[in-house]
Structure 1
Amino acid sequence: MSAQQTAPDHAAPDQSPAWAPTLDVQLKMLDDGLEPPAYAHPGDAGADLRARVDVTLRPGERALVPTGVSIALPFGYVALIHPRSGLATKHGLTVVNAPGTVDAGYRGEIAVTLLNTDRSEPIALRRGDRIAQMVIQRVEHARFVPVEDLSDSVRGSGGFGSTGGFTAP
């Protein structure tokens, strides 16, 4: 879809609205019965991914859930798979390796490792349910330069709670 096709009436024809697509990603749907990834609202960072199969997760159980989606990202980009906030809050459903990483060179089906963190209730997911969000971002490739000593910083080697923020009773 072009910027002119998606532009609201108040936008000038030569100006693309801020929410217009800025990157083409090749998409292959592996299951014609599912909706492709989509952003629910203009400006959303994550495109919803859907379950290709029915699955029920008992408390504490995890499962690899296929989405029926395969993509070809341009090099220099990554797709990060995040939990959906509503499922996490209401049902304790999360992505085990959040965010999951889909590298630019991967061409297989995107599958999401889901975990039911609820202590007592199972969660039943049905084919077509939205199960995760895919956020596409640019990535930098670092050159790792060996040195004898690292430069100083205010934080130094402090980590793992060194800045506080939590007061235990």
Structure 2
Amino acid sequence: MTDKIRGFQIVSAYEGKGIKLPGRKTGSSAGYDIEAAENVTLVPHKVVLVPTGLKAYMQNDEYLGIHVRSGISIKNSVSCVNSQGIIDADYYNNPENEGHIMVPLINHGEKNFFIAKGTRVAQGIFYKYLTVDGDSAGVGAERTGGFGSTGK
């Protein structure tokens, strides 16, 4: 991994299943379009984790922000339940789920909303972040799991 800076890969469970690596649509697009890896139905007022079949690698001082695409959000009353998903650098290849990115969507409408495999549901944007003086979170700490593995 030393020669790679940041990018996307397909998780092993989805290899050979027609998953596309995210791309930007224009030269000024900030986000990499992320597709649903399976058909999913969003029922009203429930959170559903939409599988992407993807994992992301990046530098230790970066994270991947996951944002619902505006077309889906505005036209269908769907949002990312945590506003912006945050994929930490050490989520990549974690032993629990290989770093599989799941998009937590909630349907605010009153009717089911169907998402077909291959629908662009989210955008991923890579961000740098800063830490405070004396921060020691990375000293000896290593991620051991997936969702919520760093505690409450």
Q: Same fold (TM over 0.5)?
A: yes
Query: TM-score scaled to structure 1, two decimals?
Result: 0.67
What is the rounded CA distance, in whole Å, between the counterparts of 2:21 and 2:119 in structure 1?
12
Q: 3-state SS of the aligned residue for 2:65?
A: strand
Question: Relative contact order (alpha carbons < 8 A, sep ≥ 6): 1 or 2 greater?
Answer: 2
Tell me what 2:27 maps to: 42
Distance change in 2, residues 1:24/1:43 (3 Å): farther
Tell me what 1:141 maps to: 131
Establish whether residue 53 from structure 1 lines up as the match of residue 38 from structure 2. yes
Q: Deviations over 1:106-158 (max 9, x none)?
A: 1111111010111x22110011111111111111112279xxxxxxxxxxxxx
Establish whether residue 95 from structure 1 lines up as the match of residue 80 from structure 2. yes
Tell me what 2:64 maps to: 79
Contact 2:61 2:129 in 1 (8 A): yes
Gaps of 5+ in 1: 1-22, 146-169
Q: Deviations over 1:13-64 (max 9, x none)?
A: xxxxxxxxxx931432123411111112111111111111111112112101
User: How far 1:98 moved relative to its partner?
Assistant: 1.6
Tell me what 1:158 maps to: none
What is the rounded CA distance, in whole Å, between the counterparts of 2:120 and 2:127 in structure 1?
21
Query: TM-score scaled to structure 2, two decimals?
Result: 0.74
Percentage of identical aligned residues:
30
What is the rounded CA distance, in whole Å, between the counterparts of 2:73 and 2:5 in structure 1?
30
Tell me what 1:24 maps to: 5
Structure 1 runs of 4+ with >6 Å offset: none
Q: Deviations over 1:53-91 (max 9, x none)?
A: 111112112101110111111111110111111111100
Which residue among 107, 115, 121 is the counterpart of 2:106? 115
Question: Larger strand proportion, structure 1 or 2?
Answer: 2
Q: Count matched residues.
A: 122
Q: 3-state SS of the aligned residue for 2:127?
A: strand
RMSD: 1.7
